[in-house]
């Protein structure tokens, strides 16, 4: 992937992409046809044959390739590249290394930094990023691309403040170069003012395997206004970001992720001083996900909406827990949906939704006072590999047709709920 990325960026050393094959039939992509297999399988740089690929680009989300080697039998056709968003990285986090060695998927992010000084919390951050005006590749152009802001406290604890699709204040923060019309003192004439409240940043995480991920914030994203699901109580249309000009994004990209190797549920400077554990797109994580909203079940890239009050099922296939930052004010109240705005029991949903509780109910039977059509709850919990399953028939909590071992539900817990028809 790095070979294709550096080619699309137009870097001087990456004018070609070669598909190579070694004596063990291991295939690999390189920008230099003389550099063979470096997979560590004992063959050194032995290359049996190479194909110089013809790469066609019809936009950042539509890149294909083909090519023919020395013989007709050595050919590749209809090759496609699935791309995803990441922060700008190099092997040591510097721009110089990026230009000389290219993008490094496992490298350090290239950062713009500032320090908040004084009691008023004021800060000035100058963000630098590449522009197409200074190069020959439109792919290496940050104009209109999201800026990912991270706040690090004096104790080292970190909070993401913006993502590909949103921010702690609602819309994403987009890069706009002002290098040609800055003021005499070097400041931008139309600088973005960004005030943030850390109370509007929440964290959750996914252990290895299946997890039920809550979303207990008054915010959300939908690809279009028609994709907005039935709004949970307290969530307004204005709280939902609708649509994006950014290709290759999906509803889960409203979150910011990090690899939580020690599993403590916090991202701190002691975890990675260089910020290398950040993941800004779910596509950079080996996972599978689905939702159950008023539209029914949506899987993977078909998830075109996710708003606070719902949740999502997430299979983490990485070797470590994944931390997740979510934005928006915390939800409150006892009702899942406003009175008269009942969750649909339809052919699409069969009455089932995967939802996040806005309040604590202890005993859980108290949940029906504000949610009278709710008649069943099924909850499973992954506590670092230890799975527990609880359920209760809310219509008959003392009956014998169900195990009825769920006694309470906490605010911010996600579970499967069933609603009968009114």
pLDDT tens digits, 172-187: 999 987 766 677 776 6
pLDDT: which is higher, 323 or 120: 323
Average pLDDT over residues 114-143: 80
- Give which of 335, 312, 330 is closest to 218, Cα–Cα: 330
pLDDT of residue 121: 83
pLDDT of residue 329: 97
For residue 247, the cross-strand partners are: none
Average pLDDT over residues 334-360: 97
Find out whether 65 and 84 touch, Cβ atoms under 8 Å.
no
- Give which of 39, 40, 17, 12 is closest to 30, Cα–Cα: 17
CA separation (Å) from 175 to 116, 118, 195, 250, 377?
Answer: 21, 26, 17, 20, 44
Structure tokens at 380: 């499973």
pLDDT: which is higher, 254 or 46: 254
Q: Cβ-count burial of 409 within 10 angstroms (0-12 exposed, 13-18 middle, 19+ buried)? A: buried
CA atoms within 13 A of residue 176's CA, in its CB half-sphere: 10
CA pair distance 172, 256, nearest whole angstrom:
12
pTM score over 0.75:
yes
Average pLDDT over residues 11-18: 91
- Summary mean pLDDT of the chain: 91
CA pair distance 213, 59, nearest whole angstrom:
33
CA pair distance 103, 370, nearest whole angstrom:
53
User: Is residue 58 predicted with pLDDT exceeding 70?
Assistant: yes
User: Is residue 37 predicted with pLDDT exceeding 70?
Assistant: no
Lowest mean pLDDT among 6-15, 16-25, 242-251, 268-277: 16-25
Report which listed range, 22-26, 127-131, 193-197, 359-363, is most confident: 359-363
Q: Cβ-count burial of 166 within 10 angstroms (0-12 exposed, 13-18 middle, 19+ buried)? A: buried
pLDDT of residue 41: 53
Those residues whose C-beta lies under 8 Å from the C-beta of residue 193, and which sit 6 or more positions away, are none
- Give which of 416, 377, 370, 412 is closest to 395, Cα–Cα: 377
pLDDT tens digits, 338-349: 999 999 999 999
pLDDT band at 38 (very low <50, low <70, confident <90, very high): low
pLDDT of residue 34: 67
Where would I find the beta strands (DSSP E) of 271-385?
278-279, 287-293, 296-299, 305-307, 311-316, 322-327, 352-356, 374-383
User: Is residue 39 predicted with pLDDT exceeding 60?
Assistant: no
Q: Provide the b/e sequence for 226-243 (b: ≥16 CB within 10 Å).
A: ebbbbbbbbbeeebbbbe
User: Is residue 33 predicted with pLDDT exceeding 80?
Assistant: no
pLDDT of residue 47: 65
């Amino acid at each position: 992937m790095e070979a294709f990325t550096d080619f699309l960026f137009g870097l001087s050393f990456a004018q070609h992409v070669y598909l190579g094959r070694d004596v063990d039939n291991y295939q690999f992509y390189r920008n230099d046809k003389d550099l063979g297999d470096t997979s560590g399988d004992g063959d050194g740089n032995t290359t049996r044959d190479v194909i110089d690929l013809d790469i066609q680009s019809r936009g950042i989300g539509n890149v294909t390739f083909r090519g023919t080697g020395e013989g007709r039998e050595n050919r590749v056709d209809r090759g496609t590249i699935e791309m995803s968003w990441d922060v700008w990285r190099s092997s040591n986090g510097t721009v110089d290394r990026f230009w000389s060695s290219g993008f490094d998927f496992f490298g350090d992010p290239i950062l713009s930094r500032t320090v908040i000084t004084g009691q008023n919390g004021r800060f000035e951050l100058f963000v630098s990023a590449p522009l197409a005006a200074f190069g020959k590749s439109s792919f290496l152009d940050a104009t209109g691309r999201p800026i990912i802001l991270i706040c690090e406290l004096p104790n080292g604890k970190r909070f993401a403040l913006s993502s590909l699709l949103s921010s702690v204040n609602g819309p994403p923060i987009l890069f706009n170069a002002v290098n040609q019309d800055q003021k005499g003192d070097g400041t931008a004439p139309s600088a973005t003012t960004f005030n943030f409240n850390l109370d509007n940043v929440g964290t959750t995480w996914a252990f290895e395997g299946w997890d039920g991920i809550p979303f207990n914030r008054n915010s959300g994203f939908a690809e279009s206004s028609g994709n907005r699901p039935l709004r949970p109580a307290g969530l307004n249309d204005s709280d939902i970001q609708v649509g994006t000009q950014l290709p290759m994004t999906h509803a889960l990209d409203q979150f910011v992720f990090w690899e939580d190797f020690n599993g403590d549920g916090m991202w701190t400077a002691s975890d990675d001083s260089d910020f290398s554990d950040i993941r800004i797109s779910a596509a950079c994580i080996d996972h599978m996900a689905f939702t159950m909203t008023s539209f029914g079940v949506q899987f993977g890239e078909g998830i075109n909406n996710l708003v606070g009050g719902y949740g999502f099922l997430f299979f983490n296939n990485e070797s470590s827990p994944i931390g997740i930052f979510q934005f928006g004010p915390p939800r409150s109240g006892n009702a899942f949906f406003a009175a008269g705005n009942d969750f649909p029991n339809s052919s699409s949903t069969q009455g089932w939704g995967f939802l996040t509780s806005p309040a604590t109910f202890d005993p859980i039977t108290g949940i029906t006072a504000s949610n009278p059509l709710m008649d069943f709850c099924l909850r499973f919990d992954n506590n670092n590999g230890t799975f527990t399953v609880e359920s209760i028939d809310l219509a008959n909590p003392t009956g014998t047709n169900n195990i009825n071992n769920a006694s309470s539900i906490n605010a911010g817990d996600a579970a499967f709920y069933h609603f009968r028809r009114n």
